[in-house]
Amino acid sequence: MKLIETSMDQQVTVKGFTGGSNLVSKLYKLGIKEGVSVKIKKKSNICPILLEINGSTVAIGRGMAAKIIVEEEKE
Amino acid sequence: MNELILVGQPNSGKSTFFNALSGYKALTGNFPGATVSYQEGELNLFGRIYKIVDLPGTYSLIPQDRAELEAKKFLVKHKEARIIDIVDSSVLARSLELTIELIELQRPMVVALNMIDVAKRKGLQIDHQKLSTLLDIPCIPTSAKRGKGAIEVIRASNKNKVPEKSVTLKFQKDVEEVIKSLAKKVPENLEKKLSIPARTIAIRLIEEDKYYLDAIQREFDFLLNEAEKARKILEKKHDKDAKFVIAAERHNLAMEIFEQVTTFTGVKQTESLGEKIDDIVLHPLWGYIILIAVFYGLFSIIFNLGSHFENIIVSQFDSLSKLIESRVSDKIFSLILIGLSQGVGGALGIALPYIIPFLIGLAILEDTGYMARIAFLADSIMHKIGLHGKAVVSFVLGYGCSIPAVMAARNLENTRDRIITAALSVLIPCSARTVIIFGLVGFYIGKWYAISLYIVNVLVIGLIGRILTRIDKKVVPGLVLEIPEYHLPVVKNVLIKTWIRIKDFITVVLPLLIAGSIVMVFLEHYSIDSIINSGLKPLTVFILGLPEKVGTTLIFGIFKKELSLMMLFQAFGTDNLSKVMTHSQMFVYAVFTLFYIPCISTIPVLYRETGKKVTFYVITGTLLLATTLSILARFVGIILF
Ligand SMILES: Nc1nc2c(ncn2[C@@H]2O[C@H](COP(=O)(O)OP(=O)(O)O)[C@@H](O)[C@H]2O)c(=O)[nH]1
């Protein structure tokens, strides 16, 4: 599924990206890469999505969140 | 002299670290490059002199925009300098990736494990000695905010330790082999020229680092083909872009090291205070209410405080001018002196009362971490214009003064966003234009007419933004922004930041204001105003339906926006404008001054940030916009008044 389709407090693993390499580089810099586990900290209908990743908090715009493929982690 | 360069990711506490040393600093300057400005200081520590440079924060050394390229060039070119890598220990895993890139440069280096207190609070124990062994450089825990550890870091830099044996200098076998075989082809004189090891050059070429691609042009063109071949091999094997293969290597190394040197002590997994605050501050409803309250509070403090002090300061300089007029007999000399005093008075009259409190407020917003949250909240609104959250900072600043607003556009990653944001931010009514709106429309017509002008202004900006972003139809990459933890602001930090910015303002603006004021005094004295008035008649009288006498005031307004209102009283020789202008005329006049040409102090800043062409378009564009809107206002005026 896409990051934009997740719900709050879900723990997901990043699987890949559907955007260009410009977008991917931007995400990489903040640690959002394939295989990394992120937690959805906040999600609403208007604001960007707030993630927790390796102890830091990162906001991702909704447009970008539609280009990030994730998979829910099983407990 | 020993030169130290501070490098670190944004929010790692770099500027706090820099300022923590200020007790030992002999001098601090801000030297502007083409796109970034560095802070520079001189340090006298136990009899040794150090030059210390604070580069802008960066997540990675692979440059993605002009600012990062500049910073990178600076770093690579200063071969003798020692690198001080400021690391945010509370997000060690991620921060180590930059450290690994720095180690690849093979320069003398020290790691400052900053925010060690925050890491502890999170339950993260870091074995810095082990880290030191793994990386082969000194790693020193610091807490810059409390001034702890900074001196030790400087001392450790004296060891001049080059991380030759760092474990990070070797990637996974297959990747390493590709790099090695490319490295073998790197000629020795290129290594010498850049003063960077061949392996690192090879890596950066594979990553398509613009700096290195530029560096090998012409002379070493054959390397481009070789790098391309290497890239192909990696891509085939790993099924992704070569640069991401390398990034993944660094990521894995960072994670491995992170796991080796850290232990988690049992920490309560309850919500931290910061998270509780964020539940409200980033709430889709309360968040916006708080945002509006914060701005309302900030601006009402600034304006109330500002107008109070402005009157005091300006009246002091006014009496100085009168004194000069009565004492200095030589006419030309006296006019120059008066212009000088008015220019300085004008600059101080805006700078001290409005801009200083404004910049202090801004520094507090940044230091506490609220600024990033503003960008978060504004993201969806900014998307309606075709920009994204970070642009809002410029717009907010614009209500204080266009100059810091234009400068803040630097924070945006891509050129298109930067230019559009800078151009739009000059349309926002700065404090000087607020004086006109409230002094003319608010005072003579009514408060609600003044407020409606603000609303119209926002709508117009939104519309123009939409048009501009449609013309240059790049996809907006969107917002990716770290939301830092909350911090209590440190007074010293806030003051130093404010001081540096105000100095920037004074050096750019003061000379122009003085020159402008002197010209104005002469214009007045030799009654050139009537020539200007009749020259502008087609615009003022025929198109806008204003009295002929407003012509000069509009010219003065370019020098300093609030001057147009003051000059209006002077031009008509009255202290009650309602006797000489109809409500409709006042309305049109206010609309025109709200949108036309940015003031003479903003123009050079705009030029510096966006270039000649954009500045020219902004000047002509705003003039056209102001005229069009004023004509509309004229019709609206006929209906309303
Ligand atoms: N608790 C704690 N806070 C710090 C430390 N160093 C910096 N800060 C705070 O972190 C925030 C960001 O620091 P700043 O120096 O502006 O970061 P920069 O973006 O790297 O220049 C500020 O609010 C600082 O007060 C530290 O060692 N411990």
Lowest-pLDDT range, B109-113, B500-504, B586-590?
A: B500-504
Lowest-pLDDT range, B183-187, B349-353, B429-433, B590-594?
A: B349-353
Is the pLDDT assigned to residue B28 strictly greater than 60?
no
pLDDT score at B34: 38
pLDDT tens-digit readout, B434-478: 878 888 898 899 888 988 999 999 999 999 999 998 887 766 667
Could you tell me if B456 and B603 lie in one domain? yes
How high does pLDDT run on average in chain B? 86
Q: Does residue B424 fall inside a structural domain?
A: yes
Could you tell me if B584 and B635 lie in one domain? yes
For chain A, the residues whose C-beta falls within 8 A of a C-beta of chain B are 19, 21-34, 41-42, 44-48, 50, 53-64
Q: Does residue B40 fall inside a structural domain?
A: yes
Q: For a ligand 1 pocket test, name from B16, B87, B367 the mutation site with the most ligand atoms within 8 angstroms of its C-beta.
A: B16
Residues of B within 8 A of A17 (CB-CB) are none
pLDDT score at B136: 96
Phi and psi of B124, rounded to 5°?
Answer: -100, 120
pLDDT score at B13: 87
Is the pLDDT assigned to residue B38 strictly greater than 80?
no
Could you tell me if B569 and B429 lie in one domain? yes
Q: For a ligand 1 pocket test, name from B145, B152, B153 the mutation site with the most ligand atoms within 8 angstroms of its C-beta.
A: B145
Confidence tier at B35 by pLDDT (50, 70, 90): very low
CA distance B122 to B185: 47
Q: For a ligand 1 pocket test, name from B14, B124, B487, B490 the mutation site with the most ligand atoms within 8 angstroms of its C-beta.
A: B487
Is the pLDDT assigned to residue B600 strictly greater than 90?
no
Stretch B329-334: mean pLDDT: 86
Could you tell me if B478 and B569 lie in one domain? yes
Confidence tier at B64 by pLDDT (50, 70, 90): confident
Higher pLDDT: B22 or B252? It is B252
Stretch B384-399: mean pLDDT: 86
Give the ipTM of the model, two decimals please: 0.88
Confidence tier at B481 by pLDDT (50, 70, 90): confident
pLDDT score at B31: 40
Q: Does residue B444 fall inside a structural domain?
A: yes
Could you tell me if B152 and B186 lie in one domain? no
Is the pLDDT assigned to residue B267 strictly greater than 80?
no
With beta carbons less than 8 A apart as the criterion, state whether B57 and B8 touch.
yes
Higher pLDDT: B21 or B208? It is B208
Which residues form the domain of B585? 286-640
Residues of B within 8 A of A53 (CB-CB) are 94
pLDDT tens-digit readout, B400-438: 788 878 888 877 777 888 899 999 999 999 878 887 888
Stretch B504-511: mean pLDDT: 73
Q: Looking up tokens 């209410």, which residue turns up? A: B289
pLDDT score at B33: 37
Instruction: Give me ligand 1 centre to Cα B486, in Å.
Output: 10
Q: Does residue B256 fall inside a structural domain?
A: no
With beta carbons less than 8 A apart as the criterion, state whether B636 and B628 touch.
no
Is the pLDDT assigned to residue B331 strictly greater than 90?
no
For chain A, say whether B285 makes contact (Cβ under 8 Å).
no
Of A30, A32, A47, the CB nearest to B282: A47
Could you tell me if B234 and B305 lie in one domain? no
How much of chain A exceeds pLDDT 90, in percent? Answer: 33
Three-state DSSP at B78 gives: coil
Could you tell me if B304 and B393 lie in one domain? yes
Number of domains in chain B: 3
Is the pLDDT assigned to residue B189 strictly greater than 80?
yes
pLDDT score at B82: 95
With beta carbons less than 8 A apart as the criterion, state whether B41 and B80 touch.
no
Nearest to B13 by CA among B126, B79, B76, B95: B95
pLDDT tens-digit readout, B335-384: 888 888 877 887 787 667 777 887 888 888 888 889 889 989 998 888 88
Number of domains in chain A: 1
pLDDT tens-digit readout, B528-541: 888 889 999 999 99
DSSP state at residue B355: I
Three-state DSSP at B484 gives: coil
Distances (CA, A) of B436 to B442, B587, B635: 9, 11, 21
Is the pLDDT assigned to residue B123 strictly greater than 80?
yes
Nearest to B317 by CA among B342, B335, B340: B342
Q: Does residue B399 fall inside a structural domain?
A: yes
Three-state DSSP at B523 gives: helix
pLDDT score at B22: 65
pLDDT score at B27: 42
Last residue of a domain, which of B167, B185, B200?
Answer: B167
Could you tell me if B126 and B84 lie in one domain? yes
Chain A nearest CA to B408, separation (Å): 20
The CATH number linked to A27 is 2.30.30.90
Is the pLDDT assigned to residue B523 strictly greater than 90?
no
Confidence tier at B127 by pLDDT (50, 70, 90): very high
Best of A57, A64, A67 to disrupt the B interface by mutation (most B CBs within 10 Å)?
A57
pLDDT tens-digit readout, A12-61: 999 888 877 778 888 887 888 888 889 999 888 888 999 998 778 899 99
Stretch B104-116: mean pLDDT: 95
With beta carbons less than 8 A apart as the criterion, state whether B69 and B60 touch.
no
pLDDT tens-digit readout, B86-100: 999 988 988 999 999
How much of chain B exceeds pLDDT 70, in percent? Answer: 94
Q: Does residue B575 fall inside a structural domain?
A: yes
Nearest to B588 by CA among B475, B464, B453: B453
The CATH number linked to B53 is 3.40.50.300
Of B283, B380, B480, the CB nearest to A64: B480
Confidence tier at B546 by pLDDT (50, 70, 90): very high
For chain A, say whether B524 makes contact (Cβ under 8 Å).
no
pLDDT score at B74: 87
Which residues form the domain of A29? 3-72
Could you tell me if B217 and B317 lie in one domain? no
Stretch B286-301: mean pLDDT: 89
Residue nearest to atom 22 of ligand 1 (CA): B367
For chain A, say whether B256 makes contact (Cβ under 8 Å).
no
Q: Does residue B266 fall inside a structural domain?
A: no
Q: Does residue B501 fall inside a structural domain?
A: yes
